[in-house]
Amino acid sequence: MNHAAAKWYDRRDCVFVEFCVEDSKDVHVNFDKAKMDFVCVSGTENIKHENSVDLFGEIDPIKSKHRRTDRSVLCCLRKAETGRAWPRLTKDKTKCNWLSLDFNNWKDWEDDSDEDMSKYDKFSEMMNSMEGDDLCDLDEHYSADSDDE
């Protein structure tokens, strides 16, 4: 099985996971209370990627969403218990060689200022309004917390 490379970061209400797969098709993301499954085919060689993640905490599978772009699939996992930080994405402490922290978006949200929360709220609203593969400009919102500015 080929795992898709992924990076993740934590926020007050959600955990974001980005599967870094270019030109993905046949994307299937299944959210369960304590688990997430990701399957897709990518590239001209139709390489199949499969990731199954037993999550650190519980999520709301109905309010969790995903969005496919040409370069990746971004998943917004809505936490069942908001305001609780996740020290890792996975239930087990074992290191997954396909998973890393998204340092461009990672921050200690417990010390958020009002301005930081405003940026997060805009991004969170956008993710909440998404329906599966909705066509919206994620790049603008995805980099809202980036250090590139």
Contact between 64 and 79 (Cβ < 8 Å): no
17-37 confidence digits (pLDDT tens): 999 999 999 999 999 999 999
pLDDT tens digits, 35-59: 999 999 998 889 999 999 999 999 9
CA distance 87 to 129: 27
pLDDT tens for 88-104 read 999 999 999 999 999 99
Q: Minimal CA–CA distance to 36: which of 124, 127, 99, 94?
A: 99
Per-residue confidence band for 137, with pLDDT thresholds at 50, 70 and 90:
very low
**What CATH class is the domain 6-101?**
mainly beta
Domain residues of the chain, as ranges? 6-101
pTM, two decimal places: 0.74
